[in-house]
Chain A
Amino acid sequence: MTVHAIEATAISKKFGNLLALSDVNFSVADGETFGFLGPNGAGKTTTIRILTGITAPTAGTATIFGHDIVRETIAARRQMGIVHEISNVYDDLSAWHNILFASELYNVPRSAGERRGKELLELFGLWERKDDRVKVFSKGMKRRLTLAMGLVNDPRLLFLDEPTSGLDVQSNLIIRDVIRELTGQGVTVFLTTHNIEEANLICDRVAIINRGQIAAIDSPERLKKTIQSVQSVEVAFDPSSPKLLEHLRELPLVSEVRKEGDKFRLITEDPSGVIENVTTYAREHHTRIISMTTIGPSLEDVFIRLTGLMIRVKGVKAID
Chain B
Amino acid sequence: MTDLNESCGQLCRELKAAWAIAKKDIRIYYLKPNIIVSGMLFPLFMFLAFAIGRDAPPTMLVPGLIAITILFSASSIEPVSIPIERRTKTFDRLLSAPVSLHSVVLGESMSGFLYSTGIALVPLSAGIILFSTPIVQPLALIGGVLLTSFCFATMGTLFAAYPTESPGDIMSMLNLVRLPLIFVSGVFIPVNALPQIGQIAVLFSPLTYGNDLIRAGFEGTTHFNPLMDVLAICVFILLFQVAANHLYRKFNE
Contacts and interface: CB of A to CB of B under 8 A. Distances in A.
Interface of A: 52-56, 74, 77-78, 82, 84, 86, 88-93, 97, 101-102, 104-107, 109
B89 A88 contact: yes
A90 B90 contact: yes
A55 B99 CA distance: 15
Interface string B1-36: 001010010100100110111011001100000000
Contact of A77 (B19, B23, B98): B98
Nearest to B88: A88
Given A78-B98, A97-B27, A88 B90 contact: yes
Interface of B: 3, 5, 8, 10, 13, 16-17, 19-21, 23-24, 27-28, 88-90, 92-100, 252-253
A34 to B, nearest CB: 19
Contact of A82 (B5, B17, B96, B253): B96
Contact of A92 (B13, B28, B97): B28
Contacts of A89: 90
B96 A74 contact: no
Nearest to A13: B253
Contacts of A84: 89, 92-93
B218 to A, nearest CB: 39
Given A55-B252, A90-B28, A107-B17, A77 B89 contact: no
B13 A105 contact: no
Contacts of A90: 24, 28, 88, 90
Given A102-B93, A105-B99, 16 more contacts: A54-B96, A55-B252, A77-B98, A84-B89, A89-B90, A90-B28, A91-B88, A92-B27, A101-B20, A104-B20, A105-B17, A105-B21, A105-B94, A106-B98, A107-B5, A107-B17
A221 to B, nearest CB: 34
Contacts of B96: 52-54, 77, 82
A60 to B, nearest CB: 15
B106 to A, nearest CB: 14
B95 to A, nearest CB: 5
Given A84-B92, A90-B90, A107 B28 contact: no
B120 to A, nearest CB: 25
Contacts of B17: 104-105, 107
Contacts of A109: 3, 5
Contacts of A52: 96
Nearest to A78: B98
The 8 A-B residue pairs with the shortest CB-CB distance, nearest first, are: A104-B20, A77-B98, A88-B89, A78-B98, A92-B28, A109-B5, A88-B90, A86-B89
Nearest to A48: B96
A101 B93 CA distance: 10
Contacts of A88: 88-90, 92-93
B101 to A, nearest CB: 9
A109 B16 CA distance: 10
